[in-house]
Amino acid sequence: MRIVVASKKPVWITLAAALLVHILLVSVQTNRRFNTRFVRVWLLDSVAPLEKLADLGFNGIGRIWRGYFALVGVHGENQKLRSENDALKIQLARQNEEVLEAARLRKLLDLQNAGLGKTVVARVIGRHPDPFQSHQTVTIDKGQVHGVQPDTSVMTPDGVVGRVIYAANLFSIVQLVIDPQSFVAGMVRSSRRQAIVKGNGSREMELDYIDDDNDIKAGDQLVTSGMDRVQPKGLPLGVVTLVGARKGLFKAVKIRPSVDLTRLEEVLCLIEHPPEMIEPLELAPAASNSN
């Protein structure tokens, strides 16, 4: 078997020729200045786009990375600002509510100083309308410890609210003037005619008795007469809204309470009447039920 070995002469010849060309170039460059502008331009045009692409890539990634952390920081800052803004809104709402409460308490203080007698301010903490019997009552945070007793008059600067029908040590139940079992001695402010005003279970009251109803009309104001020994004299009681046909001996008269009983928050309890309280008026038999 014959083994053929390839000749290495062509390789050596090629290397020798390349070395010779290199030596010639070096010698020529040392003897005279060789113009390499074309080569440099070619290299710059070839390599620069690659460098630009690499630069854009690295810079883009850097910007995205920095932008990500910047967005994370902005998001956290926005969350903090949003929380602070919500807290400020809540604080502002509470301050506005405190201002309104202070205004209401100032009116109650003015009423306390009106010479009605000894009073105590109470807060309404519950409302208990009876859907079956239409009873209308509220719970207040004052009781016997504070001097509140059954038949204590309850009012606001706008007028009569009702009377206490049950007093515990620290809390009391107030029967509103719109309760069907509520009777208040009143009178027409303009004519001074005596009247009995009762609740009807709705948001209105009605006349149960009046001396003479011939001249009563819509718009007439009713005030307490003080003759039931519960409500002091002269408190706003309501305004006549409707005068209808007679129902038995008296006309059907609807009365809107002076106090918005759906928005009660603070009330004034008259725990001691002034000594000049006038004598009581005999009310209808139904009014004698204390509870």
pLDDT tens digits along 127-167: 875 555 567 899 999 999 999 999 999 998 889 999 999 99
Residue of higher predicted confidence among 210 and 10: 210
Query: Cα–Cα distance between 223 and 275 in angstroms, integer?
Result: 20
Averaged pLDDT, 18-47 = 56
pLDDT band at 54 (very low <50, low <70, confident <90, very high): low
pLDDT band at 288 (very low <50, low <70, confident <90, very high): very low
Which pLDDT score is estimated for 137? 92
Strand ranges for 33-158 from DSSP E: 118-127, 137-140, 153-156
Cβ pair 206, 196 in contact under 8 A: no
Q: Is it the case that residue 31 has pLDDT exceeding 60? A: no
Give me the half-sphere count of Cα atoms (radius 13 Å) on the Cβ side of residue 140. Answer: 36
Query: Cα–Cα distance between 253 and 206 in angstroms, integer?
Result: 5
- The backbone torsions φ and ψ at residue 273, rounded to the nearest 5 degrees and listed phi first, read -75, 155
Averaged pLDDT, 97-103 = 65
Residue of higher predicted confidence among 73 and 230: 230
Token pair for residue 213?
């109803």
Q: Is it the case that residue 100 has pLDDT exceeding 70? A: no
State the chain's mean pLDDT as an integer: 75
User: Residues, the chain, total?
Assistant: 291
Query: Cα–Cα distance between 72 and 159 in angstroms, integer?
Result: 59
Averaged pLDDT, 198-215 = 87
Which of 28-37, 48-57, 89-98, 183-192 has maximum average pLDDT?
Answer: 183-192
Residue of higher predicted confidence among 262 and 73: 262
Q: What is the 3-state secondary structure (H, E, C) of 158-219?
A: CEEEEEEEEECCCCEEEEECCCCCCEEEEEECCCCCEEEEEECCCCCEEEEEECCCCCCCCC
**Burial environment of residue 249 by CB neighbours within 10 A (0 to 12, 13 to 18, 19 or more):** exposed
pLDDT band at 285 (very low <50, low <70, confident <90, very high): very low
Which pLDDT score is estimated for 174? 95
